[in-house]
Amino acid sequence: MIENGTKNKKALHIEDLSKNFGGLNILDQLSMSVTPGERRAIIGPNGAGKTTLFNVISGELKACKGSISLFGEEVIDMPNHQRARRGLARSYQKNNLFLNLSVLDNLALVLQRKHNHEGNWFKHRSPKAFPLLYKEAESFLESWNLAKKSHVKVAELSYGEQREIEILLGVAADPKILLLDEPTAGMSVAETQHMLRFLENFPVDMTMLIIEHDMEIVFGLADRITVLYYGKVLAEGTPEEIRADSRVREVYLGSEVSEKYA
Amino acid sequence: MNRKNLLAMSVLFLISLVLPWVIAVYPLGIVIEILIYGIFASSLNLLLGYSGLVSFGHAAFFGIGAYTASIFAQNVSANIFFTLPAAVIVSLLAALIIGFFCTRVSGFYFLMLTLAFAQMIYAIAHQWESLTGGSNGLSGIPVPQLWSGFSFEDQKLLYYLILIVFLLVIFGIRRFIASPVGQTLIGIRENEGRLKAIGYNIRNYKLLAFVIAGGLGGVAGALYSYFNGFVSPHEVYWTVSGHAIIMVIIGGAGTLIGPTLGAGFLIILQSVVSSYTDRWYSIVGLTFIAFVLFAPKGIMGLISLLKLPGKKEVTQNFNVEGEKA
C-alpha cells in the first residue's frame, strides 16, 4: 500500500485527530506529519489546542477520533507509558517534577528505565551497583551545569534550574521523538539564550516538536512550522513561508513580528 | 551509614539481646507487641509512606496471617517453618486478588475499596464458623514449635524469634526501598503522572507494593497468633487498620523505623495510660491531631529537627562523589 509506505517514513503521522471537551472542539480533524530528525515548531494563539495536541500525542488525553502513528506504528489505543517505551518523551508547560527528590534521583528515574533496571528490586541503587547509569547521570549533570546541585532537592532550586531539569528529564530518555511544551516559559532573556544553545545541541536524529511563543527560538530552531488555529492546521511550511503567509500574520504573528523577521 | 549511627545501632542491638533477662514478663510482652505491630505498621508504610497509597484495609492481611497460622497449627502442624510460610503465602495470594482490583483506582476510591475488602474478610472471619470459630475466634492454638520437642513455651524464646523476624523485615524493606523498584514507588508518591510519561507501568508497581505489604502484614498476623495464642474477628476489624495508619503517621510516614516508633508510642500509651484512666483513647486522638497539625513528619521528623538545628534539609540518598574518590 502506498499510503502505508509514506506513513512508515514519518516519525509522527496524525490523521483526522479530534478531541472535544463537552462539545467544544479543541482539536478538529487535525492532520499533520513530521519526518524523522525534523525540528517542528507548533505555534498559534492561546487556546489553539497546542498543549492538547501534545497531551493527545503522548497519550495523557484520549483522542475522540483519528489516528496517531509513531514510525509507522499505530498508537492511538496505547496507554501513555507504552508510547513512552516506543521512544516518545515530553516536557511540560508547567514544571512537572519530583519536587521532593534530589536532582540526581529525578534523573535516575529516567535513566534506570532507559537502562532497563526498572524491574530490579534487590540491588541498592548506587554508583557501585549501577556504574553505567550513574556515569551517564554525571555526564548529563555536568554538561547541564547542574553537577553541584545533584544532591539538592529540586524544590529548592531556582525556577530556571527547575525548568532545565524539566527539559533534561525529557531528553535524558534518549527519545526518538521529543515533545517540548514551551521550554522557555517564564525564563529570563539570558536563561532563554542558554536554553536555545542546549536545544540546538540536541542529537540531530532526534525528532523534536516544540510549542513556543518566543519567535526567536521558533525561527532560529525550526525546520518547519505548523500554525494551529482553533484546533485546525491553519498553515504549515518553512519559516520563510510562514513569515510570508498573510493569514498567519493576521491571526498570530501580527505586523510587528513579521517586520522584524522579514 | 556513619560511625555514630553504627555505634547507636550496635548499642540498640545489644540492649535488645539482653532485654528479656533484665525486664519482667509483662513489659517483655509489651515489647513483643511493639515489634509485631512495628512489622505491621512498617508493611503498611510501604503503601502509605513510600508509595503514597492510603490503604484503609490493611487489617485484612493481619487477620489472614493470624487465622492461617492458627488454622494450620491446629489442624496440621505447629512448626513455624510450616505455619509462617503458610500465613505468608495465603496473605500474598489474598493481596494479589484484592490488589488487582484496588490498584485500578486511586485516591479516595482506593481507600474505600481497601476498606470494603477488609470488611469482607472481617465478615468471613465472623461468619464462617466451621473454619474460623465465628465470633468466638480460635482459642487453644498450639504453642509454635521450631521442631518437634522444641517449642516456644518460654516467652523469652518467642521474643528472640520475633526480634529476628522484625530485623529481617526492617532490613529487607530498607534494601527494597533503595532498589530501582523501591525508588520508583517513591516516584509514584511524588509524581505519578510524570512517571507514566517516562514509561513506567504504574499499576504493576502499585500491585507489587500492595502484594509485598500484604505478605508482610500476614507475617505480623502470624507472629501475633504465636504470641497471643488466640485470634478473633477483632484482629480483622477496621479499627486495626486505623491503628496502623495512626502508627505510621505518628511515627513518620516514609521513614524506615518511624512506623515502629509509632507502634511503640501507641502501645505504650495503650498499656500504661489505660491503667490510670479509661480515657486513654481520647489522649490517642488528641495526640494524633497534634501530630497531623504540628508535626506531619511524625516522631522521625521531630528527631531530625533535634539533630540538625537550622540546617537545610538536603536529600542525600545516594552519593555520586563516592565513586569518584
Amino acid letter for position B36:
I
A3 is a domain residue = no
Q: What is the largest CA-CA distance in chain A?
A: 61
pLDDT at A96: 95
Listed residue (B59, B58, B57, B41) closest to B257, CA to CA: B41
Q: How far is CA B216 from the centre of its chain?
A: 7
The three grid cell numbers given for residue A17, joined into one nine-digit string = 485527530
List pLDDT tens digits, range A109-132.
999 999 999 888 888 999 998 999
More confident of the two residues B246 and B308: B246
Whole-number Å distance between alpha carbons of A90 and A75: 16
Contact A105, B317 (CB under 8 A): yes
A172 is a domain residue = no
Which residue from B178, B200, B316 is facing A113, i.e. has the nearest CB? B200
The reply to whether residue A121 touches residue B191, judged by beta carbons under 8 angstroms, is: no
How do A65-70 and A207-211 pair as beta strands?
A: unpaired
Whole-number Å distance between alpha carbons of A233 and A252: 13
Smallest Cα distance from B269 to chain A, Å: 33
Strand partners, A218: none
A61 is a domain residue = yes
The three grid cell numbers given for residue B269, joined into one nine-digit string = 500509651
Q: Supply the DSSP string of chain A, one letter for each residue.
A: -HHHHHHHH-SEEEEEEEEEETTEEEEEEEEEEE-TT-EEEEE-STTSSHHHHHHHHHTSS--SEEEEEETTEE-TTS-HHHHHHTTEEE--SS----TTSBHHHHHHHHHHHHTT-TT--SS--STTT-HHHHHHHHHHHHHTT-GGGTTSBGGGS-HHHHHHHHHHHHHTT--SEEEEE-TTTT--HHHHHHHHHHHHTS-TTSEEEEE-S-HHHHHHH-SEEEEEETTEEEEEE-HHHHHH-HHHIIIIIHHHHHHHT-
pLDDT at B136: 85
List pLDDT tens digits, range B29-65.
999 999 999 999 999 999 999 999 999 999 999 999 9
Which residue from A minimizes the CA distance to B178? Answer: A124
B175 is a domain residue = yes
Contact B218, B65 (CB under 8 A): yes
Q: Give the model's confidence band at A253: pLDDT under 50 very low, under 70 low, under 90 confident, else very high.
A: low
List pLDDT tens digits, range A167-192.
999 999 999 999 999 998 888 888 88
A68 is a domain residue = yes
**Given a cut of 50, is residue A206 above it in pLDDT?**
yes
% of chain B at pLDDT higher than 70: 94
pLDDT at B9: 86
Q: Which domain holds residue A226?
A: 10-96+177-260
**Number of domains chain B contains:** 1
Which residue from A minimizes the CA distance to B183? Answer: A109
**Given a cut of 60, is residue A257 above it in pLDDT?**
no
Amino acid letter for position A32:
M
Backbone φ and ψ for B38, nearest 5 degrees, come out as -65, -45
**Number of domains chain A contains:** 1
Which residue from B minimizes the CA distance to A130? Answer: B180
The three grid cell numbers given for residue B72, joined into one nine-digit string = 494450620
Whole-number Å distance between alpha carbons of A130 and A121: 13
Residue of A98, A128, A171, A181 to mutate for B, most B C-beta atoms under 10 A: A98
Q: Give the model's confidence band at B317: pLDDT under 50 very low, under 70 low, under 90 confident, else very high.
A: very low
- Chain A residues with CB-CB distance to B191 below 8 A: 96-99
More confident of the two residues B307 and A176: A176
pLDDT at A6: 54
A129 is a domain residue = no
Smallest Cα distance from A247 to chain B, Å: 35
B322 is a domain residue = no
E-only strand ranges, chain B: 138-139, 145-147, 150-151, 230-231
CATH number, domain containing residue A215: 3.40.50.300
Listed residue (B93, B322, B293, B63) closest to B210, CA to CA: B93
Q: Which domain holds residue B190?
A: 25-237
Q: Give the model's confidence band at A71: pLDDT under 50 very low, under 70 low, under 90 confident, else very high.
A: very high
A154 is a domain residue = no
pLDDT at B129: 86
pLDDT at B184: 96
B137 is a domain residue = yes
User: B49 touching A, CB under 8 A?
Assistant: no
pLDDT at A233: 92
The three grid cell numbers given for residue A204, joined into one nine-digit string = 540531530
pLDDT at A250: 82
B248 is a domain residue = no
Which residue from A minimizes the CA distance to B200? Answer: A81
Whole-number Å distance between alpha carbons of A151 and A114: 21
B129 is a domain residue = yes
List pLDDT tens digits, range B171-226.
999 999 999 999 999 999 999 999 999 999 999 999 999 999 999 999 999 999 99
**Given a cut of 60, is residue A163 above it in pLDDT?**
yes
Q: Give the model's confidence band at B252: pLDDT under 50 very low, under 70 low, under 90 confident, else very high.
A: very high
B20 is a domain residue = no
Dihedral sign of CA atoms A113, A12, A199, A181 in order = negative
Residue of A88, A102, A124, A138 to mutate for B, most B C-beta atoms under 10 A: A124
The reply to whether residue B180 touches residue A121, judged by beta carbons under 8 angstroms, is: yes
The reply to whether residue B320 touches residue A110, judged by beta carbons under 8 angstroms, is: no
Contact B54, B111 (CB under 8 A): yes
